[in-house]
Amino acid sequence: HPRHADAADPAAGAAVKAADRAHVFHSWSAQGLIDPLAVAGAEGAYFWDYDGNRYLDFTSGLVYTNIGYQHPTVVAAIQEQAGKMTTFAPAFAIESRSEAARLIAERTPGDLDKIFFTNGGAEAVENAVRMARLHTGRTKVLSAYRSYHGATSTAINLTGDPRRWASDNGSAGVVRFWAPFLYRSPFYAETEAEECARALQHLQDTLAYEGPSTIAAIILETIPGTAGIMTPPPGYLAGVREICDRYGIVFVLDEVMAGFGRTGKWFAADHFDVVPDLMTFAKGVNSGYVPLGGVAISAEIAATFDTRPYPGGLTYSGHPLACAAAIATIHVMEGEKVIENAARIGETVLGPGLRELAENHPSVGEVRGLGAFWALELVRNKETREPLVPYNATGADNAPMAAFGAAAKKNGLWPFINMNRTHAVPACNVTEAEAKEGLAALDAALSVADEHT
Ligand code: PMP
């Protein structure tokens, strides 16, 4: 398999890096304190730099290259579409857009049969909230702490994690609640059943004091991703569905990260037999080869806009190149059984392998996940569960996680790190050998984390 770096070219790398440092303003960063790696290429589950170092990508970019980098079928489909129709405005019916919408609608759960296309996840969330508000005539939206929904205005307000703090504009219309997370239970629960019951009671109590008739929507990531890959306890999402039905609240599931095969099913909602009213997606829909996201809309909410115009749109909504990439990606996922692969690797390699690491390393407090979607909670002390680094740590306070990250890279693994967690989120078509290579590198890097326990 030709997944190796071509001859190294440090001079070319230095030029790329110099132009980047001079002119690229990076996301989420203090511009003067970062040192971005210059990447020369990527293929499958790997990428490589200009110095001849190759990395197994256990981040899938930003958890989106579900079929890996440079899949030839999708690259060819984009090239072919570019030759036929590179772009066309969203008000027209065109083949790439209508076919992508059909394929997506046929795979989303229940009656989520209309697709509003966006360029990414945050725009999908913005539009889902707008639809919910217009559908209900209400304004408030409930979202969970320990969540990530995007970085545009409403999406960042809905986001629960600390990245919200600096850019939150007062969270207009957003009320936050605690979703279940047994390992650090907001409800001091000790079993999943207890966690589920108390989390649902807490949601009921929150609604009672907010006024259920003022709530347009409840939004949850089906399995919160960036905040820690916390699979909800059995019954929780069904309970939220019931609460939404009781009060006429729109139930929005954000599947931007968990959707399109990541969890070993098309959508994470498929694990729980729950159908939301609106479902947001992006990332895995075309493995991010061309920016694409969207909202899958129930028949009832779609009907709201049958005779009344929907007041929202985007110039590049359903862009032909992005839609062609989505069509090809869906065919690849089915033809190459990518989703089945994610489920199997999760069950037979990643799950058992990560649990074994947890047994051998004092720094691993918990392993949780499924499919190609796993989190390791790194701690100073397994008994007290004290996180390896303080909440939202930076600089010297974050040194243990930085040391862990550096050790992973030295061992050829590019790790996903968020606060005191590392996530194992490789491409969904990762092979058994690649997954084992990742586990071995994690094993070595965790020995460095162990020094801080
Ligand atoms: N929702 C979820 C669940 C996400 O994980 C993300 C991105 N990590 C977003 C929304 C925002 O997507 P984007 O960055 O494409 O705007």
Q: For residue 117, report the distance from its CA to the centre of ligand 1, in Å.
A: 15
For the domain spanning 72-335, the CATH number is 3.40.640.10
Q: Is the CB of 254 under 6 A from ligand 1?
A: yes
Q: Give the integer Cα–Cα distance in Å for 113 and 318.
A: 16
Q: Is the CB of 257 under 6 A from ligand 1?
A: yes
Q: For residue 119, report the distance from its CA to the centre of ligand 1, in Å.
A: 11
Q: Which atom of ligand 1 is nearest to the CA of 254?
A: 3
Enter the tokens of residue 23.
């002119």
Q: For residue 230, report the distance from its CA to the centre of ligand 1, in Å.
A: 16
* Res 1: pLDDT: 38
Q: How far is CA 93 from CA 169, 266, 310, 319, in A?
A: 38, 26, 17, 12
Of all protein residues, the one whose alpha carbon is nearest to atom 12 of ligand 1 is 121
**Count of CB atoms situated within 10 Å of the CB of 109:** 19
pLDDT single digits (tens) 62-85: 999 999 999 999 999 999 999 999
* Res 247: pLDDT: 98
Angle made by CA atoms 93, 97, 99, in degrees to the nearest 5:
105
Q: For residue 421, report the distance from its CA to the centre of ligand 1, in Å.
A: 18
User: Nearest to residue 29, comparing CAs of 394, 420, 425?
Assistant: 394
pLDDT single digits (tens) 48-58: 999 999 999 99
Q: Is the pTM of this model over 0.95?
A: yes
* Res 5: pLDDT: 58
Q: Which atom of ligand 1 is nearest to the CA of 151?
A: 16
* Residue to mutate, 283, 287, 290, ligand 1, most ligand atoms under 8 Å from C-beta: 283
Per-residue pLDDT at 6 exceeds 80: no
Per-residue pLDDT at 168 exceeds 90: no
Q: Give the integer Cα–Cα distance in Å for 238 and 221.
A: 14
Domain with CATH 3.40.640.10 in the chain: 72-335
pLDDT single digits (tens) 364-397: 999 999 999 999 999 999 999 999 999 889 899 9
Per-residue pLDDT at 2 exceeds 70: no
Strand order in the sheet with 46-49: 39-43, 46-49, 54-57, 413-414
Q: Is the CB of 136 under 6 A from ligand 1?
A: no
Q: Is the CB of 259 under 6 A from ligand 1?
A: no
> How high is the mean pLDDT of the chain?
96
Per-residue pLDDT at 31 exceeds 50: yes
Domain with CATH 3.90.1150.10 in the chain: 10-67+337-450
Q: Is the CB of 373 under 6 A from ligand 1?
A: no
Per-residue pLDDT at 242 exceeds 70: yes
Of all protein residues, the one whose alpha carbon is nearest to atom 1 of ligand 1 is 149
* Res 293: pLDDT: 98
Q: Is the CB of 288 under 6 A from ligand 1?
A: no
pLDDT single digits (tens) 328-361: 999 999 999 999 999 999 999 999 999 999 999 9
Q: Name residues whose C-beta falls within 8 Å of residue 383's C-beta, 6 or more positions apart in sequence.
A: none
Helix (H) or strand (E) holding 30, with range, is: none
CA 367 to chain centre: 18
* Res 170: pLDDT: 84
Q: Is the CB of 282 under 6 A from ligand 1?
A: yes
Q: Is the CB of 256 under 6 A from ligand 1?
A: yes
Q: Which atom of ligand 1 is nearest to the CA of 257?
A: 5
Is the separation of the CB atoms in 85 and 320 below 8 Å? yes
* Residue to mutate, 229, 256, 286, ligand 1, most ligand atoms under 8 Å from C-beta: 256
| Predicted ipTM > 0.95 | yes
Residues 152-176: what's their mean pLDDT? 90
Q: For residue 79, report the distance from its CA to the centre of ligand 1, in Å.
A: 27
Q: For residue 285, report the distance from its CA to the centre of ligand 1, in Å.
A: 13
Q: For residue 153, report the distance from its CA to the centre of ligand 1, in Å.
A: 13
Q: How far is CA 34 from CA 21, 24, 421, in A?
A: 9, 12, 20
Q: Which atom of ligand 1 is nearest to the CA of 282?
A: 15
Q: Is the CB of 150 under 6 A from ligand 1?
A: yes
Per-residue pLDDT at 144 exceeds 50: yes
Residues 16-43: what's their mean pLDDT? 96
Chosen CATH of 10-67+337-450 out of 3.40.630.30, 3.40.50.300, 3.90.1300.10, 3.90.1150.10: 3.90.1150.10
Per-residue pLDDT at 102 exceeds 70: yes
SS3 350: helix
pLDDT band at 449 (very low <50, low <70, confident <90, very high): very high
